[in-house]
C-alpha cells in the first residue's frame, strides 16, 4: 500500500497537466487588486467541482475548508494571492495576457494554481490525514492596505482558528525543482512616502525673491539619507528611496510647489516607526530653514514578514522528506515586501519559495517585469509541497 507521501506525489504528477492549464487560464485573464471578480468566480467554480465547501470574504477572497479525520485535532492554513499587476506583457506565448496593461508578472497565477491543486489532492485523500486545512485565496496583495489585512479584519483566522499558516512565492533566482526557506526575518515592511514642498515661486532670474521649492526638495532628498546612514543600526537592514520629483514646467520659472514620492523599508518594527518620526522632522525642518513649508504623508503599508523558527524547522524537515535535502536551499533575506506579514503578526507563519527558473531555456526574467515567465514543471512541485504541508504540518 502506498504511503501518504507517495500518494500525494503520484496525484501531483497525474494532475499537474490540468493545473498547468489552470495556471495558463489565470495568466491569460489577469485582474488588478480588489478587482478580481472573474478570478474569484473561477476559483469558486474549481472548488465546487472538487466538492470543497467555501465562502467569499472581502468581496473577491475565497476561503475553503477541507476536513480530514478528527478535524478538530489541528487546523493549518494555506494561502495564495490572486491579483495581478498593471504591466503590459511582452511574452509571445499562447497564454499571453488578454487584458491590455494587466499581467500576472509576480506569479500569483502560479500560487493560485498550486493551491487549487493541493486542495484537490487533500480533499481526495482526506481520509488519510488528520485535522483541517483552511484554504485562503487572497485578493489585493499588490496594493495597500493589502488583502491580508482585510481578510483578518473579517475573521479569516477564526472559525476554525488555524494554529499556523503557510504561503509560497515563485523565485526566479532558483531553478525549477527546488524550494527555499528561511527562519526569522525574511522580507521588509513597506511604507509609501509623500512630500509636498510649498513656497513662493517666481522668476528664475530673481531667486532672492522666492522660496525655491526645487532647491528645498533637492535638499530634502539628500538630508533624508541621514535617516539610514546616521540613525539606523548598521546591522539592521533598511532602505529609504525617493523615486519621484514632480514640479515646474519650464526653464525660467521657480514653481510654487514640488512633490516627492518614495518608499521606506525596514526589518525591525520598532525602528520602522521611529524612522517615520525622523523622516517627518527632517523634511519639515529643512523646509522651514529655507523659507518653505513641507507637508508629509506616510502611508503605512505591510509589516515585515517573520517566519516562526519552530514552524520553519517543521517545514524544512517536511520538505527534505518530500524532495530530498539536496533540493532544499536557504532563502536570502529581501527588502521587498509581502502582505503575508499581516498573518505572521497574528499566528505562526512560514513563507517559502518555489523555484521556477530554467537557465538553459532562458527562463530567468524577474518578477514585476514584462517578460516574467516560469518553467511550468515547477507547478507539480508547488502542488505537492502545499498538499504535504497541509496533510502533515502540526504546530
pLDDT tens-digit map of 121-161 = 999 999 999 999 999 999 999 999 999 999 999 999 999 99
Cis peptide before 218 (omega within 30 of 0): no
pLDDT tens-digit map of 270-296 = 999 999 999 999 999 999 999 999 999
Catalytic, 302? Answer yes
Catalytic, 194? Answer no
SS3 content of the chain, % helix, strand, coil (to 5): 40, 25, 35
Name the active-site residue from 89, 141, 338, 376.
376
Cβ-proximal residues to 60 (8 Å cutoff; 6+ apart), any chain: 34, 35, 36, 37, 39, 40, 82, 139, 140
Q: What is the CA radius of gyration of the chain?
A: 24
Query: What value does the mean pLDDT take over residues 82-102?
Result: 98
Asked if 58 and 123 count as a contact pair (C-beta separation under 8 A), the reply is no
Asked if 34 and 143 count as a contact pair (C-beta separation under 8 A), the reply is yes
Asked if 353 and 173 count as a contact pair (C-beta separation under 8 A), the reply is no
Query: What value does the mean pLDDT take over residues 54-70?
Result: 98
pLDDT for 262 equals 98
Bridge-based pairing state of the strands 54-57 and 61-67: antiparallel
pLDDT for 1 equals 59
- What DSSP character marks residue 71? T
Q: Is the pLDDT of residue 192 over 90?
A: yes
- Whether this prediction's pTM lies above 0.85 is answered by yes
Q: Is the pLDDT of residue 67 over 70?
A: yes
Q: How far apart are CA 383 and CA 360, in angstroms?
A: 24
**Distance, C-alpha 252 to centroid of its chain:** 44
CB atoms within 10 A of CB 1: 4
pLDDT for 395 equals 87
Q: How far apart are CA 43 and CA 251, in angstroms?
A: 54
pLDDT tens-digit map of 331-345 = 999 999 999 999 999
Query: What value does the mean pLDDT take over residues 242-253?
Result: 97
Helix and strand element counts for the chain (H, E)? 10, 16
Calculated CA dihedral for residues 103, 107, 110, 116, nearest 10 degrees: -90
Q: Is 89 helix (H, G, I), strand (E, B) or coil?
A: coil
Q: Is 339 helix (H, G, I), strand (E, B) or coil?
A: coil
Asked if 352 and 181 count as a contact pair (C-beta separation under 8 A), the reply is yes
pLDDT for 2 equals 84
* Average pLDDT score over the chain: 97
Could you list the beta-strand ranges (E) of the chain.
54-57, 61-67, 75-81, 132-138, 164-175, 179-181, 184-187, 191-198, 202-203, 238-247, 253-254, 257-266, 293-299, 305-307, 328-330, 349-357
**Pick from 365, 204, 389: which is nearest to 311 by CA?**
389
Please, which residues bridge with residue 66 across strands? 133
Q: How far apart are CA 40 and CA 167, in angstroms?
A: 18
**Distance, C-alpha 78 to centroid of its chain:** 14
Cβ-proximal residues to 74 (8 Å cutoff; 6+ apart), any chain: 130, 131, 132, 163, 394, 395
pLDDT tens-digit map of 14-45 = 999 999 999 999 999 999 999 999 999 999 99
pLDDT tens-digit map of 103-119 = 999 999 999 999 999 99
Name the active-site residue from 302, 306, 342, 343.
302
Asked if 171 and 352 count as a contact pair (C-beta separation under 8 A), the reply is no
Which domains are delineated in the chain? 4-187+304-392 (3.40.630.10), 191-299 (3.30.70.360)
Query: What value does the mean pLDDT take over residues 354-359?
Result: 98
Amino acid at each position: 500500500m502506498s504511503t501518504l507521501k507517495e500518494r500525494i506525489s503520484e496525484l501531483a504528477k497525474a494532475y499537474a497537466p490540468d493545473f498547468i492549464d489552470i495556471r495558463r487560464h489565470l495568466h491569460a485573464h489577469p485582474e488588478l487588486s480588489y478587482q478580481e471578480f472573474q478570478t474569484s468566480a473561477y476559483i469558486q467554480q474549481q472548488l465546487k467541482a472538487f466538492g470543497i465547501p467555501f465562502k467569499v470574504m472581502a468581496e473577491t477572497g475565497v476561503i475553503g475548508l477541507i476536513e480530514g479525520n478528527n478535524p478538530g485535532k489541528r487546523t493549518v492554513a494555506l494561502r495564495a494571492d490572486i491579483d495581478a499587476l498593471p504591466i503590459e506583457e511582452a511574452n509571445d506565448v499562447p497564454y499571453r495576457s488578454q487584458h491590455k496593461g494587466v499581467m500576472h508578472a509576480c506569479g500569483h497565477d502560479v500560487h493560485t494554481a498550486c493551491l487549487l491543486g493541493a486542495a484537490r489532492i487533500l480533499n481526495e485523500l482526506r481520509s488519510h490525514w488528520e485535522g483541517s486545512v483552511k484554504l485562503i485565496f487572497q485578493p489585493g496583495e499588490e496594493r495597500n492596505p493589502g488583502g491580508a489585512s482585510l481578510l483578518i479584519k473579517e475573521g479569516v483566522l477564526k472559525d476554525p482558528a488555524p494554529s499556523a499558516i503557510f504561503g509560497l512565492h515563485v523565485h526566479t533566482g532558483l531553478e525549477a525543482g527546488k524550494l527555499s526557506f528561511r527562519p526569522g526575518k525574511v522580507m521588509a515592511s513597506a511604507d509609501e512616502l509623500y512630500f509636498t514642498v510649498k513656497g513662493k515661486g517666481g522668476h528664475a532670474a530673481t531667486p532672492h525673491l522666492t522660496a525655491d521649492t526645487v532647491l528645498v526638495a533637492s535638499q530634502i532628498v539628500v538630508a533624508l539619507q541621514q535617516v539610514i546612514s546616521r540613525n539606523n543600526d548598521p546591522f539592521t537592514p533598511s532602505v529609504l528611496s525617493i523615486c519621484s520629483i514632480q514640479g515646474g514646467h519650464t526653464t525660467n520659472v521657480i514653481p510654487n510647489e514640488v512633490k516627492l514620492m518614495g518608499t521606506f523599508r525596514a526589518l525591525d518594527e520598532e525602528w520602522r516607526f521611529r524612522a517615520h518620526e525622523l523622516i517627518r522632522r527632517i523634511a519639515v525642518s529643512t523646509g522651514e530653514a529655507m523659507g518653505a513649508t513641507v507637508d508629509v504623508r506616510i502611508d503605512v503599508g505591510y509589516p515585515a514578514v517573520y517566519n516562526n523558527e519552530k514552524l520553519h524547522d517543521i517545514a524544512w524537515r517536511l520538505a527534505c522528506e518530500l524532495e530530498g535535502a539536496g533540493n532544499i536551499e536557504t532563502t536570502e533575506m529581501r527588502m521587498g515586501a509581502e502582505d503575508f506579514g499581516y498573518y505572521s503578526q497574528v499566528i505562526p507563519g512560514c513563507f517559502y519559495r518555489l523555484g521556477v527558473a530554467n537557465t538553459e531555456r532562458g527562463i530567468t526574467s524577474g518578477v514585476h517585469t514584462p517578460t516574467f515567465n516560469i518553467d511550468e514543471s515547477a507547478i507539480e512541485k508547488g502542488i505537492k509541497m502545499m498538499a504535504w504541508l497541509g496533510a502533515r504540518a502540526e504546530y
